[in-house]
Amino acid sequence: MLRSLGARSLVLVVMLLMAAPHAGRAWGVLGHRAVARIAENHLTPAARQQVSQILGWETMPLVSTWADELRADPQYKETAPWHYLNVASGLDFAAFVKQLNDPALLAPAAPTNAYTALLQARRDLKDPKKTADEKRVALKFLIHIVGDVHQPLHVGHAEDKGGNTIAVNWRAKDDSNLHSVWDTAILEYPGFTFTEMSATYDHATPAEIKQWQKDDITTWVFESYQLCTPIYAAAATNPKFDWHFYPTFGPVAQQQVLKAGIRLAGQLNELFAK
């Protein structure tokens, strides 16, 4: 998916990350690492061994934000669209999937959005011709993008950049927007660390795990697409989010983090079954 990164490029990424704004990073550091930790909890022994072999000294929670750090480097600006989907409003499932599978968006080895980037990462991990470095990059993107597409506003409206241009008041602060509330604020509200969050949220039943891992990727993104409707409606009704907001939407965010972790594990268990 990407050319290998040298030491100088990595240093530049870190420097640029420190100066970059945090808007637009689905789930933020906290959510992405919780998703990765939940996934680790549900890996098969074979998948765990393969993930460890590919990542080396790094862990899944540690690399879960790498794709956000990478796009701070101008050399890799082409990866910015790999974190979200822009789909027309008001579609049923069949029309939604038809848009996802538009041939213009599915050019081989040329991701144009989170869906196509996720498919490409899977292909790269299954390709025996890919180098160890290429597989490492693909795995890091897979870990990150699975989290991204479970943040509802990463399958939001193009006209408002997934809620980035919708100003809201969060806990009496007027400098927020709908997207950033869902990226970070709603997950930070309980005050968990990512390890506490993963331990608290990881309560899926065996039946839920079986169903969620059976679901197709198109189902994941359509779920996020549907969740956008009440989220946008809440912001339109009253952009001053008061004490009602977290009790209403906190459980939704919690469920999406959990589903992302379970489904990420399912992807890795399937890819590394042999």
Q: What percent of the chain has pLDDT over 90?
A: 72
Using an 8 Å Cβ cutoff, are 190 and 28 in contact? no
pLDDT of residue 106: 64
Give Cβ neighbours of residue 198 (< 8 Å, ≥ 6 apart).
33, 34, 37, 38, 41, 261
**Secondary element (H or E) of residue 152:** none
Q: What is the average per-residue pLDDT within 199-223?
A: 97
The DSSP code sequence of 162-173 is TTTT-EEEETTE
CA separation for the pair 163, 236 (Å, rounded)? 11
pLDDT of residue 76: 84
Output the domain CATH number for residue 161. 1.10.575.10
How far apart, in Å, are the Cα atoms of 251 and each of 138, 146, 257, 266?
Answer: 31, 19, 10, 22
pLDDT of residue 158: 84
Residue written as tokens 């999937």?
Answer: 97
Residue written as tokens 């490029």?
Answer: 9
CA separation for the pair 151, 25 (Å, rounded)? 10
In a domain, 77, yes or no: yes
Instruction: Count up the domains in the chain and report the number.
Output: 1
Tens digits of residue pLDDT in 17-66: 333 333 445 688 999 999 999 999 999 999 999 999 999 999 999 999 99
Is pLDDT at 11 greater than 80 in this prediction? no
pLDDT of residue 245: 92
Q: What is the average per-residue pLDDT within 141-155?
A: 97
- For 111, the domain range is 7-271
Task: Give the single-character DSSP code of 21.
Answer: -
CA separation for the pair 271, 274 (Å, rounded)? 8
In a domain, 1, yes or no: no
* Per-residue confidence band for 1, with pLDDT thresholds at 50, 70 and 90: low
Is pLDDT at 7 greater than 70 in this prediction? no
Query: Nearest 10 degrees: CA dihedral of 171, 187, 23, 30?
Result: 140
Which has more pLDDT, 99 or 255? Answer: 255
In a domain, 2, yes or no: no
Which of 35, 1, 22, 237 is CA-nearest to residue 143?
35
pLDDT of residue 114: 95
In a domain, 42, yes or no: yes
CA separation for the pair 233, 122 (Å, rounded)? 35
pLDDT of residue 18: 31
Is pLDDT at 152 greater than 70 in this prediction? yes
* Per-residue confidence band for 127, with pLDDT thresholds at 50, 70 and 90: very high
- Assigned token pair, 51: 């993930």
pLDDT of residue 13: 35
Exposure string (b/e) for 221-258, b if CB count within 10 Å is 16 or more? bbbbbebbeebbebbeeebebeeebbeebeeebbbbbb
Q: What is the average per-residue pLDDT within 177-190?
A: 94
**β-bridge partners, 173:** 170
CA separation for the pair 44, 62 (Å, rounded)? 20
Tens digits of residue pLDDT in 229-246: 999 999 999 999 988 999
